[in-house]
Amino acid sequence: MRKQDVLAILAQIQAGELQPKEALLKLRMEPFEDLGFAKIDHHRELRQGIAEIIYGAGKTYEQISGIITATLNKEKRTILITRLSEETADKLKEIFEFSYYEIAKIGIIGRIPPADGIGKIVVATGGTSDMPVAEEAALTAEMLGNTVVRLYDVGVAGIHRLLSHMDDIMEARVIVAIAGMEGALASVIGGLADCPVIGVPTSVGYGASFNGLSALLTMLNSCASGVSVVNIDNGFGAGYLASMINHI
């Protein structure tokens, strides 16, 4: 249930069109819907301001389509599906108004809404290989109503590439810094920007990078103030957090 729905119920009470007991019944209707294999949290937007997102990895086509159908029956909104396989996406396209972004492995039911965030979110990567995580972050932020500026392949191995985008860095309200290998990008951007920086370590790198652990530890030990860190390859979490900051 959205905040607008609750306000509409309260307005009906004020206008005498709805009795308090009837309103209470509407508000007490199942805050989640039990499908057996999933419990859909219809009240999440009311509690948190952002509706539930579908995590696609490990779910069958039947489970995902069932969750989508149940959600659309109660909530007419855009739906984001992360970590979605191309095979499942092709099947979903046959039923729903569906867009699939192959690099990010993201599916979107409906249309990306117009931006209503306060400023711009910059998504920067150390290298081209970090783009799948970056696109997951960027598309998540866009789906949640933000303008996103993408700065890809601006890592510290050629720091002049990053410095050529100082206008974008200084104008950002939030920056998502995504890097594998040693993960130094977050510290460098953190030392340049006057806004929150969200570090995203990726599993990109040779053996001693330990599938992103090296980058994670570098970012956690950043000497730059204002840098926070999400989990390895968690582009969704970074885009979600960036959106929350950009709407405060």
Last residue within a domain, chosen from 74, 109, 144: 109
- Tokens 């995902």 correspond to what residue? 64
**What is the rounded distance in angstroms from the CA atom of residue 74 to the CA atom of residue 110?**
15
**What is the rounded distance in angstroms from the CA atom of residue 192 to the CA atom of residue 188?**
7
- Expressed as residue numbers, the domain containing 6 is 1-29
125 plus 229 within the same structural domain? yes
Asked if residue 97 is part of any domain, the answer here is yes
Asked if residue 83 is part of any domain, the answer here is yes
Three-state secondary structure call for residue 232: coil
172 plus 63 within the same structural domain? no
**What is the rounded distance in angstroms from the CA atom of residue 81 to the CA atom of residue 217?**
29
Measured CA to CA in angstroms, residue 245 lies from 85, 108, 176 at distances of 30, 22, 12
Query: Tell me, what CATH number does 159's domain have?
Result: 3.40.50.1970
124 plus 241 within the same structural domain? yes
Closest-CA residue to 248 (of 191, 174, 197) = 174
128 plus 179 within the same structural domain? yes
For 15, the token pair is 């206008």
68 plus 168 within the same structural domain? no
pLDDT of residue 34: 65
pLDDT range class, residue 111, cuts 50, 70, 90: confident
Full-model pTM = 0.85
127 plus 231 within the same structural domain? yes
Report pLDDT digits (tens) over 8-59. 777 888 888 878 777 766 665 557 766 677 777 776 776 777 778 889 999 9
How many angstroms separate the most distant Cα atoms in the chain? Answer: 68
Find the range with the poorest average confidence among 22-26, 72-76, 113-117, 174-178: 22-26
Asked if residue 115 is part of any domain, the answer here is no
**What is the rounded distance in angstroms from the CA atom of residue 208 to the CA atom of residue 28?**
53
38 plus 129 within the same structural domain? no
Measured CA to CA in angstroms, residue 181 lies from 24, 133, 154, 201, 210 at distances of 54, 14, 14, 9, 9
Tallying the residues shown for the chain, one arrives at: 248
Report pLDDT digits (tens) over 128-165. 999 999 999 999 999 999 999 999 999 998 999 999 99
Measured CA to CA in angstroms, residue 226 lies from 33, 187, 221, 239 at distances of 39, 10, 12, 17
132 plus 172 within the same structural domain? yes
Measured CA to CA in angstroms, residue 195 lies from 103, 150, 218, 237, 245 at distances of 28, 16, 20, 18, 10
**What does 67-121 look like in DSSP terms, one character per residue?**
HHHHHHHH--S-EEEES--HHHHHHHHTTS-EEEETTTTEEEES-PPPP-SSSEE
Total domain count, the chain: 3
133 plus 237 within the same structural domain? yes
**What is the rounded distance in angstroms from the CA atom of residue 79 to the CA atom of residue 74?**
12
131 plus 24 within the same structural domain? no
Quote the percentage of the chain above a pLDDT of 90.
64
pLDDT range class, residue 3, cuts 50, 70, 90: low
68 plus 141 within the same structural domain? no
76 plus 128 within the same structural domain? no
Q: What is the DSSP letter of 52?
A: P
**What is the rounded distance in angstroms from the CA atom of residue 9 to the CA atom of residue 99?**
34
- pLDDT of 115 above 70: yes
